[in-house]
A and B are shown apart, each in its own frame.
Chain A
């Protein structure tokens, strides 16, 4: 680690919550029909960033609560998004120290894996509960999410502590 823990400036709560709320909002915004499957998961992006930038504050519980909010807005079976986001937070906050130092494309690749797992979980639960047919196109959103990571990082670092992950 570059900085000693004592010197690190932790991101402020209100900024974390404001950006997450914005992400939730972007998630549930109506999209036109043709991007239906390609909509990025902004909440995953925000959560991933804050897990790396403020691991002392944002972790599994925070991720779970974000997911639960999505569950309730989506009127989905409550707990599926919560579980997926908690899983993302578990990996991101668990390995934050090493992940921070990786180049952006490595973080993107990890995000692709995490967002895909998240989608797989939700699709699986829908499959069990409603018997939907599973189609590869459902994972397009995860790919778009991973591709948007550099942009999300550039935007969120302005909201976070100075200098990237601080």
Chain B
């Protein structure tokens, strides 16, 4: 009995050290290739879960959910609204092109996008990262921006063969270059778990409650013009040289399982 316990402990300690070493290495991104290779272990499970008509969709279909009809009606209405807006957008784009031609400005490329789905597995309840069902096979690359209909979600931080991991803009280690739509003020938006902060703005900066932050395109990772967050409150603490700005992100992973992956703008990998 004693002996067996001793043997268990003898086995446990190397594993303990190994676990800690692995977490450390992974957190500091020491062996990215090993990580990608190891994530293949998850493949058979993901494959089974994502099979059309497979277990996941079967289970998903049997949960009490909003009625499909209701959803269908909502989508029809939304579609109409969007089409109406798109007509205006087309006009604006044509006008914009004309004006740009007059100015001889280089034309901006239209961003191409690839759609993907959020896969439930890997969604631990407490994490600022999600997994999607596209990977290296679909041409996904590190750092690719991920958005949904509401705004920017985050960027690809890990690429597997058929899945990849998205670090959300609410992740505390994530920052995104942004600008205030109303005033054009450029800044960065930093993740802060379920919300974002706008750090380093001096007390006189032109920012108010309700301001919309959009991507600024600075740095070349995120194309400009996508909605990021709306300012919830601006606190001017006289003891601090900077404003404290809290903002809520637009993109809600709960609202829809679909996301779009934008192709990086033509600038080479700039960080």
Write out, one digit per residue, whether chain B residues 36-71 have a CB within 8 A of any chain A CB (1) or not (0). Answer: 001101100110110000011001100111000000
Query: Which residues in window 127-141 of B have CB below 8 A to A?
Result: 127-129, 131
What B residues does A18 contact at CB under 8 A? Answer: none
A56 CB to nearest chain B CB (Å): 9
**8 extra A-B contacts, CB within 8 A, seeds A28-B120, A78-B22, A82-B22:** A32-B65, A37-B125, A60-B12, A72-B42, A76-B127, A77-B26, A87-B12, A94-B5
State which of A60, A61, A78, A133 has its C-beta within 8 Å of the C-beta of B23.
A78
| Chain A residues, CB < 8 A from B1 | 97
In the A-B complex, list the 4 residue pairs whose CB atoms are closest, starting with the nearest: A30-B120, A79-B19, A79-B22, A83-B19
CB–CB B131/A30 < 8 A? no
**Interface membership of B121, Cβ < 8 A:** yes
Complex CA gap A125/B8 in Å reads 24
Taking CB atoms, residues of chain B closer than 8 Å to A78 are: 22-23, 26, 35, 38
Q: Please name all residues of chain A whose beta carbon is closer than 8 Å to the beta carbon of B39 when the two chains form the complex.
A: 72, 75
Q: Does A108 sit within 8 A of B, measured CB to CB?
A: no
Subset of 6 A-B contacts with CB under 8 Å: A25-B48, A29-B59, A32-B64, A60-B8, A60-B15, A82-B22
Task: Give A4 Cβ to nearest chain B Cβ, in Å.
Answer: 15
- Max count, chain B CB within 10 A of own CB: residue among A28, A83, A122: A28
Nearest-CB distance from B196 to chain A (Å)? 13
For A6, list chain B residues within 8 Å (CB): none
Chain A residues within 8 Å of B161, by CB: none
Contacts of A80 in B (CB 8 A): 19, 23
Interface 1/0 per residue, B95-135 and A, CB below 8 Å: 00000000000000000000000001110111111010000
Q: Tell me which residues across on chain B come within 8 A of A133, comparing CB atoms.
A: 193
Chain A residues within 8 Å of B, Cβ to Cβ: 24-25, 28-33, 36-37, 55, 59-61, 64, 69, 72-80, 82-83, 86-87, 90, 93-94, 97, 122-123, 125-126, 129-133, 135, 138
Interface size on B, residues (CB 8 A): 52
Which residues of A sit under 8 angstroms from B121, Cβ to Cβ? 28-30, 73-74
* Cβ contact within 8 Å between A32 and B63: yes
Residue of A69, A77, A129, A130 ringed by the most chain B CB atoms within 10 A: A130
Structural contact, B18 and A94, CB atoms closer than 8 A: no
Contacts of A130 in B (CB 8 A): 127-128, 171-173, 193
Shortest beta-carbon distance from A134 to chain B in Å: 8
Q: CA of A118 to CA of B56 in the docked complex: distance in angstroms?
A: 26
Query: Which chain B residue shows the least CB distance to A125?
Result: B23
User: Which B residues are in CB contact (< 8 Å) with A131?
Assistant: 172, 193
* Contact across chains for B12 and A69 when beta carbons are under 8 A apart: no
- CB atoms of B124 and A76 under 8 A apart: yes
Residues on A with C-beta less than 8 A from B5 are: 94
> Given A75-B122, A126-B126, is A33 in contact with B254 using a C-beta cutoff of 8 Å?
yes
